[in-house]
Chains A and B, each alone.
Chain A
């Protein structure tokens, strides 16, 4: 058998994806259920010429990767809810200063220290709006280890292409479960590298002057150019500015570069949607339970389908509206109190036909949980 076939936890699939994508620097503070990401990278990253630092907390972890990214490296940190809360301030800084970085959040039950060893998807809205101020955000997820690998690579590609932080929003079931992963050969999955400026040393470099295609070439900090990086509104030199034109232009740029590409950034999978009269919408580990139900009911002739979202933010409004257009009922399957439910309601034409199948007790949602909701909305009781 090929030595590229591995039997690993989802956290290890994430590590494999990050190394494949060219991760060079990781700083983190281990926390359940993401600890294996740090543990494995501590062993592997130094053997591949990278740097691993265990930091004193999550605030310093994200600050360290932001600094390392500026010096020209592909960077990542990994945490769970409590640590993700601590990272919000610097996450906003990375958005404002347009610094490519990847933040893994393997979700557990919250708020606060919550329920460390159990599964949840309670951080979906935090990923979108945990940072203060108007902004946009990219967050990806996956429901199996092959996709964890691919979405991790994609997170690095998006981060580099758009100079933005990207959040990988996994969950405890995916993080800890073991299953097959086939690691692609070198070159099989496309990688996006750092776009460096062609401006030579000694010549003025404008760190925030976009090229014609909108991309901002970077110069390794500490290298041949001197420039300013700030969380304040700034001009093309990176210096603070309160000029209304500059402020307006920058906030529009930060939001539009993501939101205008919502369809381009939308990764999703669809199952049996062609003729589905009822559509399940799910993401992360619960999409596995949803797919189990769909296959099971299809075998009995029911016209049930599944739309699995892999890009959570920017929310793929157009795609959700289109895929749910013919459905008499839409059921959102998630492990929180309906965070994505509201987005789906906003996207579809008939929000009153959108229902929630959820679980918020730390127990992984079962096919029976979903089937009960399907029965209820058909007026069949449970």
Chain B
């Protein structure tokens, strides 16, 4: 596989860092790949801009930060404005239609999905927005299988919440699958 360099960005509390960790963990534990996950640390737990870098590769990963991502996920307008310029030309840009208004001008595979809206309509709990996003990323990139992510969710999440997370993962996966090229 090609080395995948990903940046997940949004605002504190949206769960972008948790989603990044789950994806990277799925790659290492269930797919036999190497992965690193790091994040910009700030004092703000909620509301501040957050960013998490994930690299997934068959080979050894030395430098663990992402300078030019080939997958960029933006869940707020601020994140989009900040990180859109660093996307590698031809890379995947995934945004949520409720939070981000994109400018269609650059050399990127722009995918805009109503992830938040779908989660609210079909599940009704914004807490699984990040997992819906993860489902879309998995569908669009094939970087790990949906099963591997689901296994990590089952290991990490209290039993009572597995069902809505699975629903959110599948919801995002279907949204992503429909936009796959």
A binding-site residues for B, Cβ under 8 Å:
1, 5-7, 32-33, 117-118, 172-173, 176-180, 288-289, 291-292, 295, 364, 366-367
Contacts and interface: CB of A to CB of B under 8 A. Distances in A.
Q: Is the interface of B mostly helix, strand, loop or mixed?
A: mixed
B24 interface: yes
B75 to A, nearest CB: 21
Chain A CB count within 10 A is highest, among B35, B39, B41, B61, for: B41
Nearest to B63: A292
A304 to B, nearest CB: 14
Nearest to B37: A178
Interface residues of B, number: 22
B138 to A, nearest CB: 17
Interface of B: 21, 24-25, 28-30, 32, 34-39, 41-43, 61-65, 67
A288 B34 CA distance: 15
A177 B64 CA distance: 8
Contacts of A176: 38-39, 41
B41 to A, nearest CB: 4
B62 A177 contact: no
A7 B24 contact: yes
24 contacts: A1-B29, A1-B32, A5-B29, A7-B24, A7-B28, A7-B35, A7-B37, A32-B41, A33-B41, A177-B37, A177-B38, A177-B64, A178-B24, A178-B25, A178-B35, A178-B36, A178-B38, A179-B28, A179-B37, A180-B28, A180-B35, A292-B63, A366-B63, A366-B65
Contacts of A292: 62-63
Contacts of A32: 41
A288 B64 contact: yes
Nearest to B53: A177
Contact of B63 (A1, A33, A117, A367): A367
B38 A173 contact: yes
